[in-house]
């Protein structure tokens, strides 16, 4: 259709977690001038954590989201460990990592099979009534069932450790709550054969799709940025622990630092049209310090994966992501499948470890430091929890920088580039707008996790009498 309006609004954005919208501004000729990705919900978790005992934080903060509660629990408990200055037992660390791999398996399976596959398998311009998981089930029922079972397998790992699939109670300051029973270990090990088969089927799908649609991959939100990930001392990917590395688009290392030093390198910019802040690499300023996290960011920042099958796939991925494709947003889907294979390999190795069912799982803790920082690689990217406490261990400050926040500059650039590529002369069709949404879905954002506010929010309270007349009004700014 041809529109005479100069602003297009997509509200709400579909097939992602949380509430957001996109506004696309056209010039007088109907060409795209600029597009904005707005986060429209406000939550305020950082403020209402003030005054809580630090040991409650792993349970409180995981309620930020029902999609990535494990990620928040682990980043939070690492920050609490840092407050206590404690080194947790080796078995406890392995069990936390296993919980983390369960989260990766279920999250990456959820995104690929349920949220991204309708665009990949059915097409951008397919009937929107069928362009969803139900349509995928109709078009490829066995693939859909395998995706559901793979996600369930990841959830089974979480449940075996934490007692339930969502909001588990497992990681605590100093370690974990209980050991892994031997029968649970054997039951989980039996699920890997099908898990690997499904992951490899998904890998074949995304490889074939990328090869077939290479021309679109080249023009669909393909841009240069920096990239970030946690790495070990050999440059291998680390999802639970390690130093944070930031690389340029050309592969030069800009910085590699300990989690506690993140404020020296990462700043947060605020725009008036979004509740989500815009983190950036401080030495380069805003917005030039744009860096991306998550699957594409990690695969561009690390030297290797550290597991055999994932390293083989990384080499193939890098043979595709060359000649100007390193920053292609659609390759997030491909990179996500490399990580899914890595998570399965890592989880299997942890369960095969003789020490995984050990009983030394928790150290005694007490507040020893005024601050603590915990960083992990959540499925969507780097997740930072930073707490300040008083002498009693009561939270006095909390700062959370989530993966979706790190990607905020990149996502806004992505929607602008896609809108400019596909919308011309005021001609706006549903499939074009779906492509704009698809630019955001590449990053698999979790909008509920990412909302912040600068300073105090205005609060207005009005009291009305029985006639509907406002008799009293209070304002706080």
CB-CB contact of 355 with 371 (8 Å): no
Q: What's the token pair of residue 361? A: 């799982």
Alpha-carbon gap, residue 392 to 124, rounded angstroms: 55
User: What's the confidence (pLDDT) of residue 465?
Assistant: 72
173-198: pLDDT as tens digits: 999 999 999 999 999 999 999 999 99
Alpha-carbon gap, residue 317 to 197, rounded angstroms: 19
- DSSP code of residue 451: B
412-442: pLDDT as tens digits: 999 999 999 999 988 888 999 999 999 999 9
Query: Which string of DSSP letters, residue by residue, matches 384-408?
Result: EEEEEE-TT-BEEEEEEE-HHHHTH
Sheet of 291-292: strand order equals 253-257, 243-247, 226-231, 291-292
Contacts of residue 48, defined as CB under 8 A and 6 or more positions apart, other chains included, come to none
User: What's the confidence (pLDDT) of residue 426?
Assistant: 85
User: Residue 463: enclosing H or E segment and its boundaries?
Assistant: strand 459-464
User: What's the confidence (pLDDT) of residue 39?
Assistant: 80
- Least Cα distance to 455 among 289, 261, 277 occurs for 277
Given a cut of 50, the residues of the chain with pLDDT beneath it are 1-3, 453-459, 476-477
> b/e for 177-215, b at 16 or more Cβ within 10 A?
bebbeeebbeebeebbeebbebbbebbebbbebbeeeee
Alpha-carbon gap, residue 75 to 262, rounded angstroms: 14
User: What's the confidence (pLDDT) of residue 460?
Assistant: 53
Helix axes 331-352, 90-109, angle to 10 degrees: 140
């Amino acid at each position: 259709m041809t529109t005479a309006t100069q602003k297009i609004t997509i509200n709400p954005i579909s097939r992602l977690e949380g509430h957001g919208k996109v506004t696309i501004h056209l010039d007088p000729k109907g060409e795209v001038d600029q597009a904005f990705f707005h986060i429209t919900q406000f939550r305020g978790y950082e403020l209402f954590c003030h005054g809580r005992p630090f040991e409650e934080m792993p349970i409180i903060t995981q309620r930020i989201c029902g999609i990535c509660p494990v990620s928040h629990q682990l980043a939070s408990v690492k920050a609490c460990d840092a407050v206590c200055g404690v080194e947790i037992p080796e078995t406890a660390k392995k069990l936390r990592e296993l919980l983390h791999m369960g989260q990766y398996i279920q999250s990456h399976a959820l995104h690929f099979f349920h949220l991204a596959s309708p665009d990949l398998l059915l097409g951008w311009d397919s009937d929107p009534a069928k362009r969803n998981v139900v349509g995928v089930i109709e078009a490829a029922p066995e693939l859909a069932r395998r995706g559901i079972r793979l996600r369930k397998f990841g959830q089974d790992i979480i449940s075996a450790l934490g007692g339930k699939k969502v909001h588990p109670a497992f990681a605590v300051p100093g370690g974990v709550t209980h050991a892994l029973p031997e029968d649970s270990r054997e039951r989980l090990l039996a699920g890997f054969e099908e898990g690997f088969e499904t992951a490899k089927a998904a890998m074949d799908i995304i490889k074939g799709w990328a090869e077939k649609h290479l021309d679109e991959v080249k023009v669909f939100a393909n841009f240069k940025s920096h990239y970030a990930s946690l790495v070990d001392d050999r440059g291998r990917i680390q999802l639970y622990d390690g130093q944070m590395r930031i690389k340029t688009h050309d592969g030069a290392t800009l910085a590699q630092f300990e989690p506690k030093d993140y404020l020296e390198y990462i700043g947060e910019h605020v725009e008036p049209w979004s509740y989500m802040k815009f983190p950036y690499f401080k030495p380069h300023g805003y917005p030039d310090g744009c860096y991306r996290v998550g699957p594409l960011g990690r695969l561009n920042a690390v030297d290797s994966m550290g597991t055999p099958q994932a390293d083989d796939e990384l080499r193939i991925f890098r043979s595709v992501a060359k000649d100007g494709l390193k920053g292609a947003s659609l390759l997030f889907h491909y990179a996500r499948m490399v990580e899914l294979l890595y998570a399965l390999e890592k989880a299997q190795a942890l369960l095969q470890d003789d020490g995984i069912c050990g009983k030394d799982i928790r150290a005694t803790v007490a507040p020893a430091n005024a601050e603590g920082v915990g960083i992990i690689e959540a499925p969507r990217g780097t997740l930072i929890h930073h707490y300040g406490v008083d002498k009693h261990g009561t939270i006095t400050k909390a700062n959370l920088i989530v993966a979706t926040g790190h990607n905020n500059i990149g996502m806004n650039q992505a929607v602008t580039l896609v809108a400019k590529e596909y919308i011309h002369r005021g001609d706006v069709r549903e499939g074009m707008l779906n492509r704009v949404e698809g630019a955001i879905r590449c990053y698999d954002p979790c909008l509920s996790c990412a909302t912040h506010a600068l300073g105090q929010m205005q609060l207005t309270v009005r009291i009305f009498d029985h006639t509907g007349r406002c008799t009293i009004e209070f304002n706080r700014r």
